[in-house]
Structure 1
Amino acid sequence: MFIFFYGKRRARIKTAISSYEHTCEYCKSNDMRVKVYQTYIHIFWIPFFPVGSKDAEIKCAKCNSPKWNDFIMKKYEASTRTPFYLYTWMLLIPLFIGLIAYICEQNAQHTREYFAKPQVGDLYEMKNPGNGRIVYFNMKITAIKNDSIRFRLEEAAFADNVEYIFLAHDLRKMRDSGLIVQIDRE
């Protein structure tokens, strides 16, 4: 079972200390601390993208009592840019897709190279579509002589050590029809 964590969180995107024309009624200080927050959607606690509007919070810098000034709050909300890290998943998804494409291409390249120059010990992953379902199995090259290649099944269920001999042109037909899925070299 796969557990998927997602939700909304709030991130502080700016903190500033500013002078304010009104004095605090508790400590008589003119300095205030402004914090701007942005709500974002996360997947596995990694930000996906920001949602909603920014919110500013103003408190006295000395005694931490809350202040309310719409003009200053709106000024800070408007002047604060949403940081790029709140788009982390939006950046990671194309990188992840690119990485998968690169790995698949490298696998395909190795399979082409190994098919062109087979060696004893190469492991062929093959499929056999029959009886309405596809069965995958592994065969290992045990010997190569001229145009023929000798294979042995690698599954424990087929431990009877039966070897199969294929000609190179038969293997090409199998590869072209998609019966050879992948080739690994030890």
Structure 2
Amino acid sequence: MIFYGTKSTAIKNGLIRNVTCPHCQTNTEMNYTVFGRYAHIYWIPFFPIGKQQILECNHCKSTYELKNLREVIKQKFYKEQEQNPIKTPITHFTFLIIIGLGIAFAFFSSLKSDSDSTAFSENPKVGDVFFETTSTGKYSTSRVTKVTKDSVFVLVNNMEIEQKSSIDKINIDSNFTTAKGRYSRKQIIDFYKEGKTIYKIQRK
């Protein structure tokens, strides 16, 4: 169940002078508070959805929304805002910021993984794991057990899986038993560049 809704917080307080209160007809000052409204998901601010201005007469303590006051009071309020602009707090974008950071992290992690795999394909070591597309169109892994000048020997995972995203479920020690394989160093570089047979190399 997703919890969502709207809330508001005070983002600015101020004062306008020399105005006539609609209720007590006194020439006085009015304190104002600007509330920033925002949508939230699980009580985390998602994005701002507007502002509300509440003014209070210093004499009779009557309160009003700015939109319900006379034009002369509105103009004084707007003039005061020109001199001291209201800024939407960055915290009202918290959920969007979290999403943005998550996307950025995933993007740069992917770039680093690609960079690491390229380096590993050119200089394989014992213990490296090759993530592969099998001849049946499924996914599996193999683990490097020996590296020579020209060849790379692997222990083949006995299991295959249909979803690439679930390959970690079968990449466990008990699935590497007796099946063995061999690549030339050139094959590993070529296969990784093509991205078909070997699409990722992981080094612990």
The match for 1:127 among 115, 123, 133 is 133
- Counterpart in the other structure of 2:52: 55
- Counterpart in the other structure of 1:81: 86
The match for 1:162 among 167, 179, 185 is 179
- In the alignment, the residues of structure 1 paired with residue 120 and residue 70 of structure 2 have an alpha-carbon distance, to the nearest angstrom, of 69
- Native 8 Å contact 2:131 2:140 kept in 1: yes
Q: 1:61 to 1:113 in 2, by over 3 A?
A: farther
Shift of 1:92: 5.3
- Counterpart in the other structure of 2:202: 184
Shift of 1:44: 4.3
- Native 8 Å contact 1:36 1:77 kept in 2: no
Q: 1:5 to 1:107 in 2, by over 3 A?
A: farther
What 5-or-longer segments of structure 1 have no aligned partner? none
Matches within 5 A, 1:127-146: 127-128=133-134, 130=136, 134-146=137-149
SS class of match (2:134): strand
Q: 1:162 to 1:63 in 2, by over 3 A?
A: farther
Shift of 1:139: 1.2
The match for 2:9 among 11, 16, 22 is 11
Deviates more, 1:14-23 or 1:115-124: 14-23
- In the alignment, the residues of structure 1 paired with residue 47 and residue 172 of structure 2 have an alpha-carbon distance, to the nearest angstrom, of 47
Matches within 5 A, 1:23-102: 32-52=30-50, 54-60=51-57, 65-67=62-64, 69-71=69-71, 72=73, 75-76=76-77, 79=81, 80-85=85-90, 86-89=92-95, 93-102=99-108
The match for 2:124 among 118, 125, 143 is 118
Percent identity over the alignment is 21
TM-score by length of 1: 0.72
- Native 8 Å contact 1:11 1:37 kept in 2: yes
Q: What is the CA deviation profile of residues 53-77 of structure 1, one whole-angstrom value per residue up to 9, with x for unaligned ones?
A: x321123568855357444356436
Letter of the aligned partner of 2:197 in structure 1?
L
TM-score by length of 2: 0.67
